[in-house]
Every structure is written in C-alpha cells, then in structure tokens.
Chain A
Amino acid sequence: MRLAFEKRADSTPLGHTATIIGAVVLALLFGAGFLAAVGVDPLEAYALVVEEVFLSAYGWQDLLVKFTPLLFTGCAVALAAQMRLWNIGAEGQFHMGTVFVTWGSLHLNPDTWGWGMLLVMGLLAVAGGGLWGSIPGVLKARFGVNEIITSLLLNYVAVAWVDQHLFGSWRDPDSNNFPITREFAEVARLPSFGDTSVHFGLVLALIVAVVVAWILLKTKLGFQIQLTGDNPDAAGYAGVNSRLLIILVFAFSGAIAGLAGFSEVSGIHYRLQQNISIGYGYTGIIVAWLARNHPLGIILSALFMAVIFVSAEMLQIEYGLPIAMVYLYQGVILFTVLGSEIFTGYKLRLRTA
C-alpha cells in the first residue's frame, strides 16, 4: 500500500480558499512551536496579538501603516511575476527610491517649490526605483542574464549606497554623529490622517494597486505582459517586442517599489536613516505569491503580512523576541502555502499495489 496523488475532477475557488486557510492555520501551529522553543507561551502570545492588534485602535492604525509599503512592494513583484519574471530586488529599488527622494528634500528649496516638492519627490522616487529596477531588466532582455540573482544582488548594493550617504555628506551635523539626515521640510512630508500615523501614502498605494490591476486586466499592454509570461513564442508571433517589454516591466516594477520608499521616508520618518525597510521588499514576494499575483488579491495578502509585522513588533516589546520572528513566520507561511497548493488540484489516495 502506498499514498499517491490523484488528479481531482474539479478544482473550485472555494477549495482554493480552504487550502490557503488550512495552510495559514498550519503555519500558526508551527510558529507556536518555535515560540514555545524560546520559552514563550504561544497561547498567551496569540491571545495578546488578538487583543492588541485586532481589538485596539492603535493596532489597526499600525496595521494600516505597515500595510502601505507592503501593498506597493506586493504590486511591484506581482507585475513582474505576471510576465514570469522574478523581481527579488524590490528591497533595493525601495532603498534607491529613498535615496532619490532624500536628495530632493536636501537640494530643493521648500520656499520656492512649496507643495510642488511632494510631487517632485514622488517623481524622483519613481526615477530612482525605476532606474534600479531596469538594470536587471536590461541584463535579462539584452543578454539573458538570470534576473533572480542580479535583482537580488543589487539589494546589497543599494543598502550600501544608502549607508554611503548616511555616513557621508548627508549626515545631519546636529545628530550627535547618528547616521541620519536632517528632517524634511514641512511641505516635503506626506500629510497624515487626523492625529494618527496613517498617512497619504496609503491612498497612493491603493491608487497604484488599482492602476496595476487596470493595466493587467483591461489594457493591451497587460494582455501582452500575460501572453509573454504564459507563452513567449506565441507572443513573438503576435508581434510583441518581448525584450522591450521585459525592460519596461522591470522599470515599472522598480518604480512602484521606489514609491514605497517615498511613502516611508516622507510619510513616517521624515528623514533618511538606516533600516527604513524592515524587509518590505522581500515580503512583497510573499504578498504577490499568496495573491497569485492578482492585483486586488494583493490588498488582502498585504494586510495579512502587515498582521505578521505588527504582531512581531508587539512580541518584540512584550517578550524581547528579535524582529527576525517576521522572517521565520514568513518562511513557514510560504512553505505551508506552497506545500498545500497541490491539494487544490489533487487529492491523496491510498493505493493498494
């Protein structure tokens, strides 16, 4: 007797949702095991998460704050993934966005630019992230270089580039030698909603999500992107310039990740400093995968990943656990979700030989 997978006759959206929920529950169970291993009562910890993250106004506010960059980076990764391109470099494109934005805030005179500052800084973020994203795009399109490796390696370069500025000429002379820049001028900050820390970046992220959805689902460009992803040969016969499209998609994807950087520096920190992204770019990969790259599904999966971030921060404060908890949970969730996907199309059968 042995276990074997057998193809299901039908695979329903309901079945798909049920498997994802099952996978997440399984991941929470595994996560509980790791919590117990470092001496934290998992039941108590999960109860605290429910109480402080879901049942408190502050928790929801924090969720929306973390949701914002993840929606951007999730869209960035998903756009490329629709063409079967892996953009593992959203983290670096995010950082490049912050560098370009900060350049703007340090070099443009807020008195002459006024509210135009924000617009220019947003465009700078698009340029920074877009240029950085187009590097793996060009290398892939022109020479066929593996984009997974190049986009990822550029992350380390971008982070070093940020450090180069922070420890160099951009350091605020009044910062007691901390590697931070001067605060942005009032007009260079994204407005917040009321006295919360939720800021206009959230609206921008939602607009980006809708635009990406519109492009992918309603335009010829989106059709070409998906066609090239599914069947490059057919796309070639249909006259799609796939090389140009690769560069374009990577640049666009990078630009969106760059906007995430803009949203964080101008909406939250009001200055450039280290660790502005706590893995938002990498998390974008999971956000996109959970949503199967569907731009609107990303809204849900980004919210879910925001829960992980906020919960990990809470566990950090309550139990002194390191923020690496986030990566652990993300790895486990991605594993369980990937491992469960087969059950939407197959079922396990006991076969007698």
Chain B
Amino acid sequence: MEFLTQALVAAVEMGTPLLFATLGGVISERAGVINLGMEGLLLVGALVAFVTMLGTQSYLAALGAAALVSGTVTMVHGLVCLVLRANQIASGLALTLFGTGLSGLFGDKLIGKTIEPLDNHALPGLSQIPLIGPALFNQDVLVYLSYACVLATWFILYKSRLGLTIRSMGENPEVCDTMGLSVLGYRFWCLVVGGMLIGLGGAYFSLALNSYWVDNITAGRGWIAVALVIFAFWHPLKALAGAYLFGFAIALELRLQLLGIGLSPYFLKMLPYLLTILVLTTVTIRNQRRGLQVMPAGLGQGFVRGETH
C-alpha cells in the first residue's frame, strides 16, 4: 500500500511534464500543425526556467520566462513551416536540434548549480483521500496549474466557438479559408500557445524534478509526448490519463532500480520507450480495426489558397 501510494505520487510527478507537452501538442495538432520539436522545446523551457530562477529566485518569473522563450522559439518553426511553407516534419526536427543545442551551449556553465525546488502544498481534505489523495492533491503549484490547463484546453477546444474553428483548421483548412478565416493565423498561434505549454513542461524538469542542472535533463521524454498525442486521440482529457500512465512507467523504473530487484538498470531504462512503442502499436491497430479516423484530416499538410494537396 505504502509502495503503491509512493509510486502514484511519483507517477503524477513524472507525468506532469509529459502532460504539459502533450497538451501543447494536442493544441497545435488539432489546428493541423505537427510539432516534432517537443524535445527541444522541453529543453529550452527547462534551461530558461533554471537560469531565471538562479537570477531572480522567483518561481513566477521562471515559469513566465520559460513559457515566453519557448513560445518565441516555436515561432521559428511556425515561420519556417507555415509562412515559408516548408515540410513540417523536417522543420520540427530542426527545432529539436536547435533546442538541444541551445540548452547544451548555455547550460554548459550551469552544470552542478542548484536551486530550491518547488514546495508541495496539500489541499485540505482532498489530500486525505487514500491512495490517490497524496498523488493528486499534495503536489506543487505546477501540478495544479497542469489540471487547470487540461480543463481550459478541453473547454476551449470542445465547448467554445474558437475551439470549433481551431479544430476545423486541422480538419479542412480549405473550408475555413473560404469562410474568410486566416488559416495561417490560427495555425501559427495555436502552434505558439502549444509551444508555451511545452515550455512549462520543460520548466517542471528544472524547478520540480531536479534541483540541479544536468545536461540533457529531459532524456527523450519529449518524444514520448509526441507519441502520447496520438495515444490520447488528440484529446486533452485523455492526455491526462496517458501522461500519468507513462509517468507511472517512468516512476516504476526508478523505484525498481532503488529496490534492486536484480533486473539490470539499463533494461529498466528501456521500459518507458518500449512501452510507448507497444502502446502506440496497440492504439494504431485498434483504430484500424474499428475504422476510426481520429487524426485531424489536414494534419501536417501545408495550406496555400488555390493549391490543393
């Protein structure tokens, strides 16, 4: 019981950056833009949050800076693949390389420096619920912010007029264009807002999961988030479930290492990645069997008026 409670707490902790990143991916992919730059953006968010925290000792400033800088860096991707109509996949890979390079270059001098990690705040009453109480309601403020982001994303995408427009951009940009809406504008800003959320996810690595800077602090989790967007059927509420499932896998890996159950740590390290592949395969097969078309129909396709793809 104690072990399970602890594992669930860790699952939420490990899942939170994945959740932010997956939400960011959901928003931009719903509008029709693939963002393969997640890993790079997570690293940028982590670096900026850490540097700002060192300089200002203010969590708020660190989070704000992480979101703003990640959003700005995402604009490069938007400029290249939307305004200049380049291939979205290649441009996303460039973003990952760019972000990895930025965090490596400017983080080099920070290796070993420490900050005070975020405190947990127990929500009275709720945190007393057995098993899930400590996991969900005795966490730091970023975890609570992630709940708010899930709800807000869900509400905007599925319950508002704006969300209907955004989803139409991903399904059928031609129709949106005919209606006089700016496909480029909507897609660009959805991508940027998504990038800001991914930046917050990056901040979680340096403000909550670690108290010191290490090179390549995200260790490929951005790519797990890329897969999670598909796993979550491009839906914010399912993103929550998916992120915690993978958070649990990562937490379990770390816990099994601590227990020293005889399995090699390097095998355990493979687990989250293998699990992602397994789950992605299962989900793909299931969708095919049921003939589900859940992927936004216009995903990854550029849009130029008068030029059909």
Contact = CB atoms under 8 A, between A and B. Distances in A.
B223 interface: yes
B49 to A, nearest CB: 18
Contact of B274 (A139, A157, A324, A330): A157
Interface stretch (A162-170, A185-193, A233-241, A262-270): A162-170
Interface stretch (A106-114, A206-214, A222-230, A336-344): A336-344
B256 interface: no
Contacts of A302: none
B233 to A, nearest CB: 14
A327 B284 contact: no
B99 A331 contact: yes
Interface centre among A86, A144, A152 (most CB of B within 10 A): A152
Given A157-B273, A334-B93, A335-B94, A38 B105 contact: yes
B85 A342 contact: yes
> At the interface, is chain B mostly helix, strand, loop or mixed?
helix
Contact of A160 (B87, B101, B266): B266
Contacts of B266: 160-161, 163-164, 167-168
A18 B99 CA distance: 28
B150 interface: no
A88 interface: yes
Interface stretch (B74-82, B126-134, B138-146): B74-82
Contacts of A323: 104
A289 interface: yes
A330 B101 contact: yes
B210 to A, nearest CB: 18
B101 A146 contact: no
B94 to A, nearest CB: 4
Contact of A321 (B89, B96, B105, B227): B105
Interface in A267-289: 282, 285-286, 289
B277 interface: yes
Given A38-B105, A322-B108, A331 B98 contact: yes
A156 B40 CA distance: 16
B126 to A, nearest CB: 35
A38 B107 CA distance: 11
A327 B103 CA distance: 10
Interface residues on B, range: 35 or more
Given A322-B105, A338-B80, A327 B91 contact: no
B94 A338 contact: yes
Contacts of A341: 84, 86
Contacts of A342: 84-86
B104 A338 contact: no
B270 A156 contact: yes
A256 interface: no
A291 B215 CA distance: 31
A168 B262 CA distance: 13
A22 B103 CA distance: 27
B97 to A, nearest CB: 4
Contact of B89 (A86, A163, A331): A86
B84 A338 contact: yes
A143 B223 contact: no
A335 B80 contact: yes
A335 B91 contact: yes
Contacts of A153: 220, 223-224, 227, 273-274, 276-277
B95 interface: yes
A285 B104 contact: no
A168 B97 contact: no
Contact of B98 (A144, A152, A321, A327): A327
Given A160-B267, A325-B101, A146 B230 contact: yes
B285 interface: yes
A334 B277 contact: no
Contacts of A164: 264, 266-267
B117 to A, nearest CB: 25
Given A323-B104, A331-B95, A339-B80, 20 more contacts: A143-B285, A144-B284, A145-B277, A145-B284, A149-B280, A157-B274, A163-B269, A167-B266, A168-B264, A285-B90, A327-B104, A328-B98, A329-B101, A331-B99, A338-B84, A338-B87, A339-B79, A339-B86, A341-B86, A342-B84
Interface of B: 36, 40, 76, 79-81, 84-87, 89-91, 93-106, 108, 215, 219-220, 223-224, 226-227, 230, 264, 266-267, 269-270, 273-274, 276-277, 280-281, 284-285, 288
27 contacts: A37-B106, A144-B288, A146-B230, A149-B227, A150-B281, A153-B277, A156-B220, A156-B223, A157-B270, A160-B270, A161-B266, A168-B266, A324-B101, A324-B104, A324-B108, A325-B104, A328-B102, A329-B101, A330-B94, A331-B40, A331-B101, A334-B90, A334-B93, A335-B76, A338-B90, A339-B79, A341-B86
Across the A-B interface, the 5 shortest Cβ-Cβ residue pairs: A324-B104, A328-B101, A331-B98, A331-B97, A327-B101
Interface of A: 5, 34, 37-38, 86, 88, 139, 143-146, 148-150, 152-154, 156-157, 160-161, 163-164, 167-168, 282, 285-286, 289, 321-332, 334-335, 338-342
